[in-house]
Amino acid sequence: MTRQVVLQGGGPFTANDELDAQILRAHPGYVAVLPTAEAFENPDDLVQLSVAWAKRLGITTKLCAVYSRADAREESFAAMITQSAVVYVVGDSPIHLRSTLKDTVVFDALEAHPCVVAAAGSAAAMCDPMVDPRGGAFALGLGLVSGVAAVTESEKWPDERLQRTLGLANTSVAEIPTGAALIYQNGTWSTHGAVVLHGPLPTN
């Protein structure tokens, strides 16, 4: 089975149209939009951006409205993910995303999915270890990819916080600014845009 995980630096549904179009051409079908990490902000804003994005790219999206652990235990949401061509995981709170999804049927579906795209804080949460953007320290992530941690929206990070993260790291770190992406596919890695790597990417 093809396995692709795309970690976008930021700008979900606004800053990555060229890369998104390439991904979606390779995976025809509907896109499941999972805005869990925006639960405490304004997920409706991201949902509206996804509607405009879908219209622009000529695709179909379905909202997977998982905002709590009770939602993440719903088989209907897991089925929506399983049946989708691509899952877009969006929102800026990686800690909430991890605590909501870990050890649920929705996470099982996400982990087994052939193509997952995550942006901004949600992309950080796909990694284990995960960078906590609040202070730059490391925490347990969801582990769709391992052996590399992602600093997303890196153009917004003060140098002091970035240097703290690099000093604490016991793994490779990728700085991924908005409009760029780190892409894992079937055991190999590639970059899109101005990704800065600190250390080698894992080979498994």
23-61 tens-digit pLDDT:
999 999 999 999 999 998 889 999 999 999 999 999 999
Backbone angles phi, psi at 86, to 5 degrees: -145, 145
Kindly tell me the burial class for residue 87, based on how many C-beta atoms sit within 10 Å of its own C-beta (0-12, 13-18, 19 or more): buried
89-111 tens-digit pLDDT:
999 999 999 999 999 999 999 99
Task: Select from 3.40.50.880, 3.20.20.70, 3.90.1170.50, 3.40.50.300 the CATH code of 4-198.
Answer: 3.40.50.880
* Lookup: tokens for 83: 């049946």
